[in-house]
Structure 1
Amino acid sequence: MPATFGVIDLFAGPGGLGEGFASISDRGREPFDIGISVEKEASAHRTLTLRAFLREHRKQHGRLPEPFIDFHAGRISEPDWSVIDPTSWLVAKTEARALELGKPAAGLAIDETIARLQRKFDETILIGGPPCQAYSLVGRARAKGKVDYVPENDSRHYLFREYIRVLDRLRPAAFVMENVKGMLSSTVESRLVFEMLMEDLSSLGIGRGHFYELRAIRITDGKASLQEVVRPSDFVVRAEDFGVPQRRHRVIIVGIRSDIASGIGSASLKVSSGSRSVSDVIGNLPPLRAGLSRSPDSDHAWRDAVVSSAKQMAESFQNGVMPHLEGQFSELAKTFETMRVPPRSSSTLPRGYGTTNDPLLQWLENAELEAVAQHETRGHMSSDLGRYMFSATFGRLHGYSPKANEFPAEISPDHRNWHSGVFSDRFRVQIADQPSTTVTSHISKDGHYFIHPDAVQCRSLTVREAARLQTFPDDYLFLGNRTEQYVQVGNAVPPFLARQIAQLLHKVIG
């Protein structure tokens, strides 16, 4: 009988990496079984637990529970899952653990799980990645602004050592470690963090027999394989090369235990090739309008605001600056004056939902669902609606998001440094026929970096749109408030990418 692997998922977030592994089916059986997933942030842990519950319920009953369908559709408040299916809820509570790695309680729980998994499964797998804030370029830039910030005292730099501790204790058949590209250049005590990580990984097995073959995921002629590493940048995986509609580049290190590494050279996987775009995954979702912040919000007020902005820009472009845009905004003004105002939220399923032959949409859509969830807009200042409108129109015509120096003066923000270069892409539209830029937790802020490509909607992306760009299935609900939901989506590994990594790994060691 083929091997079954117990999985430990550390720093799990809302569960994107684990979702990819848990989704694999091989001849009617699931080779990867998540034994424990660890996440300290409360809302992400709630999401993780609900997903574990749904996964177990579906395994036992073949479909989603009816109360979840109603909750997903917004018809009822969240029910007590322990009453709906006590057995599946107990499994979920055992799997999804709210623990802070590096603390004694987490270490004890993980060590107990290691012993349990080693008794239950043929082999084990370790997946996950330490928090990226201290490694990322943005995180380091923000940290420099803190007067008392000392990198050596930032515990996040050293959380990968807890991953190493678990790896050494577990001795799994393989591991997958994911982090941001900034990890390659981050330094502590004048040493590269990545260099320290490689030393730790390479030292595993010394004096104990088996070591780990460290490999990078590379694509050649449409097939992914695990290859030897020449330079650190070889570990960078481009999500868009795997059919993810997002330019997301991350460091992914795969380690195979040396006693089972004989299959590395011959294993390959045909990836979900072909560039996928923003419109491929969010273009069929119901159109929405933004809310108005700092002023009374209503359909009438929204119409007045967008008509005024469109007319203002049409007049601005009559002066000879970008004259090709004048007609665009004149037409937009007419559209806004006569159109039916879209709602701020919609749960209406797209036409033909759940019947597509598109592999990516098949992954996202679930015919059991009766609604689209978490597709509602936030509020924006009326002045920002004009900037969103301009960015979307410019992006559609030029194929890129406008920089600060390409904004008309009439709608430029009154920032002292607007033309200094610091805010050059303060407003970034996602281009409809291209993969999106990297979805990050910053989407939880004002939304300026994640503008919808439709100028008529002139708004930032909803949680569901961001989740689709991250390739989370539509039945994946993010719990917590909306800000927390955005953070969870932005911090996750795209499950569609994780699934292909799991498939490749299974070919090597399965």
Structure 2
Amino acid sequence: MNKTTRTIHKKIARLQAGGKPRVLDLFAGCGGISLGFLAAGFSIAGAVEFDSEAAASHGRNFHGGDTPHSQARDITQTSPNQLARDLQVGPTTEAFDVLVGGPPCQAFARVGRPKLREVDNHAEAFKHDSRAQLYIDYLRYVEAFAPLAVVVENVPDVLNHGGQNIAEEIAEVLESKGYICRYTLLNAAFYGVPQMRERMILVAYRCELADSVTFPEPTHFIDLPPGYEGTRSVALKFLNCKIADDAHHYVHAPKAARSLPPAVTAEDALGDLPTIDARKLLKSGALRRGARRFDQPIPYDKEPHTAYAKLMRTWPGFEAPTALSDHVIRYLPRDYPLFARMNPGDQYPQAYEHAMEMFEEHLKLLAKQGLKIKPDSQQYEEIKASIVPPYDVGKFPNKWRKMWRDQPARTLMAHLGKDSYSHIHYDSKQARTISVREAARLHSFPDGFVFCGTMNPAFRQIGNAVPPLLAKAVATHMMKTLKQSERETADEPRREAAAVS
């Protein structure tokens, strides 16, 4: 029995004795995966995150703000041994049971499959590509910590990224390291998240632990709009062509039955949160230009109106505060009247049309007052600029979108940190983009989860995160596999003894 095998059996024995599986979250962000695994009964033992505000959020929520756990770390500059020492988690190989995370897909763009199989022996081939270095270090963390299980999450495009099926390549590398591995595409809306977010999920188990990999059954049903099916088709391009047989680690996601409860909608998720009338706040002077800090608590004024809203307020360990400090919105004075005019589902081309109508209406009103504005004059252009957004309709067709109240939200992106036009509130009376807390609700972060920094970094942390409820579904399913494997491993000596007798 080699050293790695002894370590694996020691970890299995620890779980058999009642220990919680210990998770190391790489590229952890603020902790979407961590929160899901914590809720499923795992212990969050450590994390590596480069962004300082996201790292601070992770440390605050999972370790009470403890300094070693709140420190930003560069995985390319932090060895597994150094991390184990910093976090005081004991010997490196024994420290963690489950490794989760997902290196940015750019890290794989120039890494060829032949080199991946023996990546640790070909470090020189990648030293001039810093993006590939992320993947090398990720694999070295797997090698060093010898986890019982691995979860990798990424965008669907990793199935066809620059001509590569990166998920398949990851699976092959993990397989060569002693894991059984499968990957699929899961949509968060099927797992109770009020957001139609499609993600590649890869799960691997040590061969000593399991001989198959399966994925969680959906808990909710929705007919995904055409755009999402199109995205899935593009992502699965390699699986639908002549090299389909090469993607032998891919499995189809479990199908959602129409008899399941309907997907959680935007209104289900947000309807109990305090109303923010953007135009009223602007008129009163309460809403001004400048950084949005979380220093003005807004008390709840409604009771939870759905099971989802109640969950967001009562999540164990992350119960809602008496007032929300991050229910803050962007200062967009030009666009509030336009948001009120837009219809649910409207995107930027429709918004531009509404804006031009509003501009023409304003010019007619001025004419009735005796003020005729000459086209193409400076005054004409100034008035137009005060009403009509300047973006090219042809270049920005999807830049804006007003949400439907009776559907889950579309995918929240990290770009929320720069603007929130992709998620305009469905309530025309409020006439605004979503708040930080609303983005968190749409992502399934409970109200007691704290985001460090100001508004823009918080939006970015949310958009980058894995939805906690999706992570919980994966983690809960994994826990069943670990428990089953514990029982099977514990029964093995008895089966051997019976065979001998």
**TM tier relative to shorter chain:** 0.5 to 0.7
2:158 to 174, 183, 194: 183
The answer to whether the 8 Å contact 1:263/1:509 transfers is: no
Q: Secondary structure at the match of 2:210?
A: helix
The reply to whether residue 455 of structure 1 matches residue 422 of structure 2 is: no
Q: How does 1:221-370 map to 2 (within 5 A)?
A: 235-262=184-211, 264=213, 271=219, 274-290=262-278, 297-299=282-284, 347-353=298-304, 358=307, 361-365=310-314, 369-370=321-322
1:433 to 406, 409, 428: 406
The answer to whether the 8 Å contact 2:81/2:92 transfers is: no
Deviation at 1:459, TM superposition (A): 0.6
The reply to whether residue 491 of structure 1 matches residue 464 of structure 2 is: yes
Question: Which residue of the partner structure matches residue 200 of structure 1?
Answer: 173
Q: What is the aligned-residue RMSD (CA, Å)?
A: 3.4
Counterpart CA distance in 2 for 1:169 and 1:39 is 18
**Shift in CA distance, 115/452, structure 1 to aligned 2, threshold 3 Å:** closer
What stretches of structure 1 move > 6 A for 4+ residues in a row?
A: 117-121, 133-136
Counterpart CA distance in 1 for 2:213 and 2:158 is 26
Counterpart CA distance in 1 for 2:91 and 2:217 is 28
Gaps of 5+ in 2: 1-16, 110-125, 221-260, 288-294, 360-384, 484-501
CA deviation vs aligned residue, 1:380-439 (integer Å, no higher than 9, x gap): 032x12321222xx11xxxx22450572333587678734x3222332111111000111
Question: Which residue of the partner structure matches residue 388 of structure 1?
Answer: 339
Deviation at 1:465, TM superposition (A): 0.3
Question: Which residue of the partner structure matches residue 21 of structure 1?
Answer: 37
Amino acid at match of 1:43: E
Deviation at 1:240, TM superposition (A): 0.4
Question: Which residue of the partner structure matches residue 28 of structure 1?
Answer: none
| Larger Cα-atom Rg | 2
Question: Which residue of the partner structure matches residue 357 of structure 2?
Answer: 410
CA deviation vs aligned residue, 1:260-313 (integer Å, no higher than 9, x gap): 104757x96673653011111111111113379xxx9532899xxxxxxxxxxx
Question: Which residue of the partner structure matches residue 372 of structure 1?
Answer: 324
Counterpart CA distance in 2 for 1:114 and 1:125 is 17
CA deviation vs aligned residue, 1:138-180 (integer Å, no higher than 9, x gap): xxxxxxxxxxxxx996633542332211112222111111111
2:346 to 398, 401, 406: 401
Amino acid at match of 2:159: L
Counterpart CA distance in 1 for 2:301 and 2:105 is 35
Q: How does 1:130-145 map to 2 (within 5 A)?
A: 130-131=103-104
Question: Which residue of the partner structure matches residue 47 of structure 1?
Answer: 57
Counterpart CA distance in 2 for 1:270 and 1:423 is 34
The answer to whether the 8 Å contact 2:298/2:324 transfers is: yes
Q: How does 1:28-67 map to 2 (within 5 A)?
A: 32-54=42-64
**Shift in CA distance, 280/345, structure 1 to aligned 2, threshold 3 Å:** farther
Amino acid at match of 1:8: L
Amino acid at match of 1:6: R
1:156 to 113, 131, 137: 131
**Shift in CA distance, 351/289, structure 1 to aligned 2, threshold 3 Å:** closer
Deviation at 1:192, TM superposition (A): 4.8
The answer to whether the 8 Å contact 2:275/2:430 transfers is: yes
**Sequence identity percentage:** 28
Deviation at 1:244, TM superposition (A): 0.4
CA deviation vs aligned residue, 1:421-472 (integer Å, no higher than 9, x gap): 3222332111111000111111122321110111111111110000010111
Deviation at 1:376, TM superposition (A): 1.7
**Shift in CA distance, 459/415, structure 1 to aligned 2, threshold 3 Å:** closer
Question: Which residue of the partner structure matches residue 322 of structure 1?
Answer: none
**Shift in CA distance, 157/480, structure 1 to aligned 2, threshold 3 Å:** same
The answer to whether the 8 Å contact 1:243/1:276 transfers is: yes
Amino acid at match of 1:238: N
2:74 to 70, 94, 100: 100
- More displaced, 254-263 or 478-487? 254-263
The reply to whether residue 165 of structure 1 matches residue 140 of structure 2 is: yes
Q: TM-score, normalized by length of structure 1?
A: 0.65
Q: Secondary structure at the match of 1:252?
A: strand
2:475 to 494, 499, 502: 502
Gaps of 5+ in 1: 26-31, 55-88, 137-150, 205-210, 217-234, 303-343
CA deviation vs aligned residue, 1:92-116 (integer Å, no higher than 9, x gap): 334444210111x344423546972
Deviation at 1:215, TM superposition (A): 2.2
Amino acid at match of 1:370: T
Question: Which residue of the partner structure matches residue 208 of structure 1?
Answer: none
Deviation at 1:378, TM superposition (A): 1.9
Counterpart CA distance in 1 for 2:67 and 2:286 is 47
The answer to whether the 8 Å contact 1:375/1:464 transfers is: yes
The answer to whether the 8 Å contact 2:52/2:71 transfers is: no
Deviation at 1:191, TM superposition (A): 4.7
Q: Secondary structure at the match of 1:251?
A: strand
**Shift in CA distance, 377/169, structure 1 to aligned 2, threshold 3 Å:** same
